[in-house]
Chains A and B, each alone.
Chain A
Amino acid sequence: MGIDRRTFIQLVTGGVVGSLFTPVIWKSLDDASIWSQNWPWIPRLKYGTITEQASVAKFGAAPCAEIVKSVGGSPYLTRGNAENEMSKGGVDPVSASGPQLMYSLSRVNGPMKKTAEGKYESISWEEAEKVLSEKLAAVKGKKGKLAVVSGDTTGTATEVLSGFAAGMGAECYLMPSEEQGAAVALSSMGGKGQIGYDLENSDFVLFVGADAMDSWGSVVRNQCVYSESRPTGEEIKTTYIYAGPFQNSTAAAADRWVPVAPGTGAIFCLGLAYHMLKAGASSSASDFADFKTLVMSRFSPDKVEKATGVAGTEMAAIAKRIMKSSAPVVVAGSEFAQGAGAADVIAASAVNMLLGRINKEGGMKILPELPKAVEAAAGRSELAAKDFVGYLAGIASGKVAAPAVMMSYEANPIYALPQNTALAQAVEKSGFLVSFSTYMDETASEADLIMPNPTCYERFEDAQTPYGVGAAMLAASAPVAEPLYNSKPTVDVVLGVASVLGIDLGYESADEVYQAKAEKAGADWDSLIEGAAYVSDSTESGSIKFAASVLSKAVTMPKGGEIALAPYSKLIIGTPTVAIPPLNVVAISKFELMGKDLMVQVNSKTAKKLGVSEGSKVKLAGAGGECAVRIHINEGVMNDVIAAPLGFGHTAWDAYSSGKGENISKLLTVGTESGTGISVWTSSFVSIA
């Protein structure tokens, strides 16, 4: 067969035109573009009615009033509830992850008990409650046989637990927080109630240690108050100064950062007091003379400089600046929201007293406790002052017998306690560990019985006067979603078990308890659950004193010459109760986590001294344990200080947090504060290998 030019052209043209006229090409192109948009493994969106409901999120360390957006009943997004005084709008990065935490992979699906082989077996709620009742019946009325710990400092649920513990003849403790030191401080100073700070009316705020923008007090509220004082594009109304060892979020936001050695907040405050006293500051408090003698003799500028690293002239300038302000306030706390003891708060209060700022607008307030809903429960400050770490340290050292039953609510003591290696073991020594955790956290993973509490989106919840806020207040919320799993509100569980054991707490269900709390506080329940907070403007009357005798014992000068650890806590990394939420993983700084390695921060001078450089792998050893970390050079850290983030090194939970970095809590060294006897762990030193 021969083809000529004509045939050739016909063949080629015919072939091309012919195939273009068949639908094959066009149909397959069209289909291809449709397929590429509809892969079956890419989830489709769920459409439905979009609803908004106010809620009080308890995922963060402090309650956060937020508006939860749901589609077809499933929460998917939150935003700040600006109408609610408790947090004034905005959300913290943990509460922002609320819906993802509700659908978290780590949720416990229902009650479980540990079998003889150490595995978990699902059981019914009836069985779980029966097991619990039996265990508790055996220890009822026997001192030291039951211990209850709650990580929820603001909820009425803790009152229920406390009342229940009282009925059982047992102790109820709170997980470590700023509130403990503040409660002990206030009682040492002869006051009652709760310390708060009226930041919104202050024109000069000095934070000593307290990382108000990331861990101290009601963080979102602090941030909102800070924001209100400096409207974008306008003049600054309130000056903020941060004094601490590390340039944390508060230091970054403040107008000035004053580097102060870790754990020396009280010395810094008393150093300021020295200059104020020299300038003639006075007080009518009964022990003013003792206080003045103490400060003038032991906190002279040279000694303070040696301990804190702040030059005398600088201290004098700060003191002058504060005294010049019309409504200054000094707030002290731990750089990582725990373990500071009472001395820091007493010392800061002393400065506020010298400034005449107690119960003044924009000053330090002594707030009343809201009336209790459960009569048998311990009062707020009484509960806060109890020393759980001290109790566990006793068990660890064998001085105190381990309890037969320990109940843990909204808490993850096995992960979050200081000197973690020793104290977690103390928790594990309990005969029977019950965890009410929503998530399969480290404590639940060791528990003999898990009775999951639903998330705060699936239950009634309330929050009273978070530590640090300037007025007594109450917020509450109703569930925003149907329960996802077979969980049961712990308050209901405890009320049920209490009635089995013949303990009358006065209520039959959780929402009754919350409503009663609102009623006793004088709040309107309906408006609370619609998103408004109840705010009381009353303060405690009665004067406080300097507690000079406590200060003289509690404040000791550091030996110096060692490498101090400055732990810090950031909400993006989670809280002591909630591990890194899924969406937060990408927002964690590359200077804190590199792959699976934790990064700790030192400045270049310290790095040189230690012989390390950027990215060096080193082992930090503290009194309580060791951590393998990498070095990041950060000039925002004081000399001879290693700053390290808490919140990493989870062993339970899920792939978003487990196995990432190290748990710095291991390095914290627990000591006892002379004068008050409570446990403190803000002065930890480490060695490097």
Chain B
Amino acid sequence: MDSNLFPEGTKRCGLAKFMLWMAFPAAILLWGVYAAGQIFYHGIGVTGLDNYFGFGLWITFDLAVIALGAGAFFTGFLKYILKIDQLKNIINLAVVLGFLCYSGAMLILTMDIGQPIRAWFGYWHPNVHSMLTEVIFCITCYCTVLIIEFIPLIFEQKQLNKIPFLHHFAHHLHVNMALFAGIGTFLSTFHQGSLGGMYGVMFGRPYAFREGFFIWPWTFFLFVLSAVGSGPVFTVLVCTLMEKMTGKKLVEYKVKALMGKIAGTMLCVYMFFKIIDTWAWATGYLPSIGLTFEQMFYGNVYGQWLLWTELVLCGIVPAIMLITPSIRNNPTLLYSAAILDCIGVTINRYVFTVQTIAIPVMPFDNWEIYAPNWAEWATTLMICAYGALVLSLCYRYQPMFPQELKLNKK
């Protein structure tokens, strides 16, 4: 029915089947929209956030997707700046994912900030000392860049591309893509670093605070490295998921293994510095303000298992797996390592967001436990559903995977 909208020469499932699938994410999306309506109408009081946990699931989610969306800028950097040509086979997906992650994060932020119609104050009344100002600048700019990178992809749709204006528009954007990739890399490196800096500068919060050299450049680069150490494999995972769902080969395994190698290398560098950082923090900084490493953890919710899972199981283990060619070249092991890697970075963002503020700093204060409520889950899942919907549409109607035809020849 809609077959003449499909990318040139590709096969897609029937429209009915497609709509049936789309109903699932759409239902979740609607639930999220309802929750968002409640939040905008009544206020953030309808969520599980409170005065101890001003940051919670939303910020964790934002930081995690921004890290995992780093696949876009880093792949773009490698493809357009370092000219690793193989990556052209996955760059489109990386860009779409990056766009989804960043736009999703921005959507979450409109709910998360108490006065969304004042969001632009970050530009009008910027506090140049605040890491968050830098994050606001970079994220909004980079989101614009991602839109610019995403637009030609839309216009390359078979039917749209027949319109000369759109064709030329897309063409010119494409010609300048190296420029945008450069800007994207610059902005992205900055704000990934600043996101780390956001926590690293909180000198009233011993879990996150780092002194002197350990904040700049150390923490900044830890965040950049952890993002580029996980973003590429997240792209691989999404690609693989799409392959499983569609039953088609979309990207050559070689490309995936390359992405894994790139991420693995970055992850190794990251883990090296992260372990030094943790060690210095636990044995140097904490005692200097009268705290112990053990005091940073509490019960099961905020237990040390989180740290060890992040560093060992979801850090060192996937790093080794990804840089070892024999492991990396085994699909199951590559995907397992990728999953561990993504979980690791998510745990990292979670503990920096939630554990940091759960720890009682005043000796007479208490540990408090944060649990997101339905409104936060619904809106967060709404973003995931939004991602699923856009990806499905892109896959069905856009020429995302240059290798699709070649790989699926029977």
Contacts and interface: CB of A to CB of B under 8 A. Distances in A.
**Contact between chain A and chain B defined by CB under 8 Å:** yes
Contacts of A8: 168-169, 172
Nearest to B172: A8
Interface stretch (A29-37, A119-127, A380-388): A29-37
B164 interface: yes
Contacts of A4: 168
A1 B164 contact: yes
A29 B118 CA distance: 8
Interface string B163-176: 01100110010010
B61 to A, nearest CB: 26
A36 B118 contact: yes
Contacts of B115: 36
Nearest to A9: B172
Interface in A1-31: 1-5, 8, 29
B362 interface: no
B117 interface: yes
Nearest to A28: B117
B120 interface: yes
Interface in B111-158: 115, 117-118, 120-121, 124
Contacts of B172: 3, 5, 8
A3 B165 contact: yes
A4 B172 CA distance: 8
A659 B158 CA distance: 66
A29 B164 contact: no
B377 to A, nearest CB: 23
A222 B165 CA distance: 86
Nearest to B175: A5
B114 to A, nearest CB: 10
A29 B120 contact: yes
A633 to B, nearest CB: 14
B150 to A, nearest CB: 16
Contacts of B169: 3, 8
A35 B117 contact: yes
A33 B118 contact: yes
A32 B118 CA distance: 7
Nearest to A35: B117
Nearest to A11: B169
Contacts of A33: 117-118, 121
A36 B165 contact: no
Contacts of B165: 1, 3
Interface centre among A4, A32, A35 (most CB of B within 10 A): A32
A36 B168 contact: no
Given A3-B169, A5-B172, A8-B172, A32 B164 contact: no
A3 B172 CA distance: 9
Interface in A388-425: none
Interface in B12-27: none
B168 to A, nearest CB: 4
A2 B171 CA distance: 11
Nearest to B114: A36
B168 A2 contact: yes
Contacts of A32: 117-118
Interface string A492-523: 00000000000000000000000000000000
A3 B164 CA distance: 8
Nearest to B148: A12
A393 B121 CA distance: 69
A3 B118 contact: no
Contacts of B175: 5
B141 to A, nearest CB: 14
Contacts of B121: 33
Contacts of A3: 164-165, 168-169, 172
Interface in B26-50: none
Given A8-B172, A29-B124, 10 more contacts: A1-B165, A2-B168, A3-B164, A3-B165, A3-B169, A3-B172, A4-B168, A5-B172, A35-B117, A36-B118
Q: Which 5 A-B pairs have the closest CB atoms?
A: A8-B172, A3-B168, A32-B117, A36-B117, A1-B164
6 contacts: A1-B164, A1-B165, A8-B172, A29-B120, A32-B117, A33-B121
